[in-house]
Structure 1
Amino acid sequence: MNLINKIKSNIRLSVQILFTALTNGYLLGYANGKIYKGDSKQICVPGLNCYSCPGAIASCPIGSLQAVLGSRDFKFSFYIIGFLMIIGAFVGRFVCGWLCPFGLVQDLLYKIPLIKKIKEVPYDKYLRFLKYIILIVFVIILPLSISNYSGDGKPWFCKLICPSGTLLGGIPLISMNSSLRRILGPLFLWKMFILISIIVLSIKIYRPFCKYLCPLGAIYGLFNKYSLYRYEIDYDKCIKCDLCHKKCDMNVVVHETPNSVECIRCGKCIKVCPKNAIKTTFAKNIDLNKKSNV
């Protein structure tokens, strides 16, 4: 019974762990040090999910998008673009808060106690534009414009930046394959530098990768105001106590912009609101249905 109560009180963490286990739980991949290449790898999952992770049973939408844009045969994928639009239109950045494995990693690092947290980052407002620059330059422009002798581009974001790929893909593969360890070079050291930097920052700053660098979060955030799953404020109840803003680790002023592009739908603002003035569109519809049945 205590276990059930703990799961209920930590429902978001439970969903994050479960989804990570489902999408990155191919244990034979870790045992053999090989990448799973079954049919499910042709399917994208909503969050960052490195193709090179030995446990990954599906693909990352950002990695897949770069692969298509860099291909000499294809420059557009209705499947990937459609997938991102459908997920975004349905839930927006809910994916970041509940379904992304690297989001879970950052959440767990931020829970490390006895270390002073940084709530306000200098130049935070300007740094948040970096993820859009990374999306445009590294995910779109470079794969489209720079190709090798055979006409294929490279997944530049995955190759030069993505710390999730290094943590969940690069390190496990290298640790289990001596042949890969022998060819390590400056690029891997650069990727390790980025990963270690993100890890250290994640202990002090809530989700620095999501806030400043993630191109997938940049895409989903554009749908927040229009997605079917949104936050709504009952301004007749709201007393503007600012508790929702103080509780928000993404620094969203919830009572003013409940569907900010930065909101990851974690739900902390809903729990802390003393007047129950914040609801989701889904919860609102459930309430209306209950009232109509009375």
Structure 2
Amino acid sequence: MMTLIGSNSYFTGFMHKTIYKGNTKAVCVPFMNCYSCPGARFSCPIGGLQAVLGSRKKYVSLYITGFLLLVGILFGRLICGFLCPFGFIQDMIHKIPSKKFKVYQPFTYIKYGLLVLLVILLPMFLTNDIGVGDPYYCKYVCPIGTLEGGIFLVSTNKALQTIVGFLFYYKLTILIIILLTAVIIYRPFCKILCPLGVIYGLMNRISFGKINLNKEACISCSTCKKVCKMEVVPFIDPNVVECIRCGTCLGKCPTKALLFTYKHGQQMKNVRKEEVYDIREIQK
């Protein structure tokens, strides 16, 4: 909640229906937050990456790529678990009482294709007459801009209401589908459609902040697997791309075989063997 308010704290934008264009707009936040939100004081790294790749000179932005690498190495997908405003919104919606379902696993690979195709390749190679590419992911997939900016601007501006067409209603439909799906599936956007999660997730194994598994203490009881809403199997591999470091598995592990550490290469503190055997007897 704090990052949602903090990154969209330009309240004058909401009052005057304008977009902030000050100096801080050149700075990226480490999570998805739309540049076009009237309250946004900063830029979205995925939007910025597309803008640079889609420019006439096709620069590879050292600032944006360096920023993403730095955040990924320091935190991995911890950013997704604790800082992402849209992740927080999905979390709140998922608390609505209903029968819950898991995502169809092959769908989780869609976000990889979106990263390669819409974020990187199309902005670079599918360009207009002057050699500029559109931000295809933002334009055709991302629901965050619709939620944070599009709905407010269109609903409060009669001039915009007369010119909005298929694209706005198409993006609005995507947003509604994602929010409704979030009731029954935990974080569907994060699991299926978020390219930033792919970038950070690929660095989960090398990030300073990671989950370590003490294999000697682990009794393979599958408790961590059962409680993981991101459908990770921590007792097999806790540092896969899908792990958002929410910490649920850490608190539920009966032998404390899982531990979050924030030091590169830090080893797990061993659990006393007699404690492990005591718990194994209980499991029987």
Provide the TM-score with structure 2 as the length reference: 0.91
**Aligned letter for 2:130?**
S
* Structure 2 residue 191 is matched with structure 1 residue 207: no
Question: Residue by residue, what CA displacement relative to the aligned partner does 1:165-189 show, whole Å, maximum 9, x if unpaired?
Answer: 1101211221222221111101111
> Could you say what secondary structure the match of 1:281 adopts?
strand
* Aligned residue number for residue 261 of structure 1: 241
- The whole-number CA distance in structure 2 between the counterparts of 1:67 and 1:282 is 33
* Structure 2 residue 44 is matched with structure 1 residue 64: no
Question: Which segments of structure 1 move beyond 2 Å, counting only runs of 4 or more?
Answer: 282-288
Task: Tell me if the contact between 2:214 and 2:268 (Cα under 8 Å) persists in the aligned partners.
Answer: no
* Aligned residue number for residue 35 of structure 2: 51
**Aligned letter for 1:277?**
A
**Aligned letter for 1:180?**
L
**Aligned letter for 1:149?**
D
**Aligned letter for 1:82?**
G
Task: Tell me if the contact between 2:201 and 2:241 (Cα under 8 Å) persists in the aligned partners.
Answer: yes
> Taking structure 1 as reference, are residues 225 and 285 closer, same or farther at Cα in structure 2, changes over 3 Å only?
closer
1:89 to 73, 98, 104: 73
2:21 to 37, 44, 50: 37
1:282, distance to aligned residue in structure 2 (A): 2.2
1:148, distance to aligned residue in structure 2 (A): 1.7
Q: Which runs of 5+ in 2 are unaligned?
A: 270-284
* Aligned residue number for residue 219 of structure 1: 199
State the aligned residue count.
Answer: 268
* Structure 2 residue 58 is matched with structure 1 residue 78: no
Q: Which runs of 5+ in 1 are unaligned?
A: 1-16, 289-294
After the TM superposition, which residues 14-163 of structure 1 pair with which residues of structure 2 at under 5 Å, given as runs?
Answer: 17-113=1-97, 115-118=98-101, 120-121=102-103, 124-163=104-143
* Structure 2 residue 211 is matched with structure 1 residue 231: yes
1:25, distance to aligned residue in structure 2 (A): 2.0
> Could you say what secondary structure the match of 2:203 adopts?
coil
- The whole-number CA distance in structure 1 between the counterparts of 2:221 and 2:173 is 41
1:125, distance to aligned residue in structure 2 (A): 2.4
- The whole-number CA distance in structure 1 between the counterparts of 2:5 and 2:50 is 25
1:236, distance to aligned residue in structure 2 (A): 2.1
RMSD of Structure 2 on Structure 1 (CA): 1.6
Bigger Cα displacement from structure 2, 278-287 vs 134-143: 278-287
**Aligned letter for 1:62?**
I
* Aligned residue number for residue 274 of structure 2: none
- The whole-number CA distance in structure 1 between the counterparts of 2:221 and 2:4 is 36
- The whole-number CA distance in structure 2 between the counterparts of 1:265 and 1:25 is 27
1:286, distance to aligned residue in structure 2 (A): 11
Question: Residue by residue, what CA displacement relative to the aligned partner does 1:121-150 show, whole Å, maximum 9, x if unpaired?
Answer: 3xx221111000000111011101111222
Kindly, what percent of the aligned residue pairs are identical?
49
> Taking structure 1 as reference, are residues 183 and 117 closer, same or farther at Cα in structure 2, changes over 3 Å only?
same
- The whole-number CA distance in structure 1 between the counterparts of 2:267 and 2:29 is 28
